Amino acid sequence: MQLFERLRAGAPGPWARYIGHPFVRALGDGTLPREKFQRFLIQDYLFLVQYARAWMLLAYKLDEPAEMREAMATATALLETELPLHIGYCAGWGIVEAELAAAPASLECIAYTRYVLEVGHAGDALELMAALAPCIAGYAEIGAALAPGLAPDNPYRDWVAAYTGADYLGSVTAALALMQRLAERAGAEARFEKLQRIFTQATACEAAFWETGWR
């Protein structure tokens, strides 16, 4: 079993709360109030800026130039693909990017981003990957679960589609392959319990992050 699969299996409760949060279910059936989605997108914009920084930090911690390029490619995709998706949605509501950038971060956003960056600064590349993986892999799982049941008039179809497209899924595959290579080189088995704690905490942060829009 690959490291990601083991870590996911080791956090069944937090993972289920993350993937099956009421916010996600309402998004899928199209009943999520626009103001809740708007609050979430603003906070997710702030989160993604810091998440991109964490991928850049991963590039710094990697030894192989090819792997450094992979990490930087993910950071670039976050800044050039995911952020514009959020900016585009908000522009339709009359909210410009400068307002997004100036918005106060929620406690959930602060806690999550600080945790990931703290893991990255204190640990090595593999530990940072354990903190990064729930976000990138979880959104692909959410997209795959929601896409088949989306109604044609679901207002969030484009958002879900962004996480089911070939480009995003390719990024997920590359990230998990990198994680596995690091696991094989960096002695994952000897410190599996620590990696599990990091992964489980990051997953719990993901589940809590939905509350920025849901409450």
Which of 35, 135, 184, 189 is catalytic? The answer is 135
Domains in the chain (CATH in brackets) are: 3-214 (1.20.910.10)
Are the C-beta atoms of 112 and 206 separated by less than 8 Å?
yes
Q: Residues 90-108: pLDDT tens digits?
A: 999 999 999 999 999 999 9
Name 119's Cβ contacts closer than 8 Å, sequence gap at least 6: 127, 128, 130, 131, 198, 202
d(CA 92, CA 38): 11
Which of 67, 82, 127, 206 is catalytic? The answer is 206
pLDDT at position 128:
99
The answer to whether the pTM exceeds 0.85 is yes
Is 127 an active-site residue? Answer: no
**Where would I find the beta strands (DSSP E) of the chain?**
none
- Separation in Å, CA 136 to CA 73, 101, 142, 203: 13, 22, 10, 11
Q: Residues 123-162: pLDDT tens digits?
A: 999 999 999 999 999 999 999 999 999 999 999 999 999 9
Is 206 an active-site residue? Answer: yes
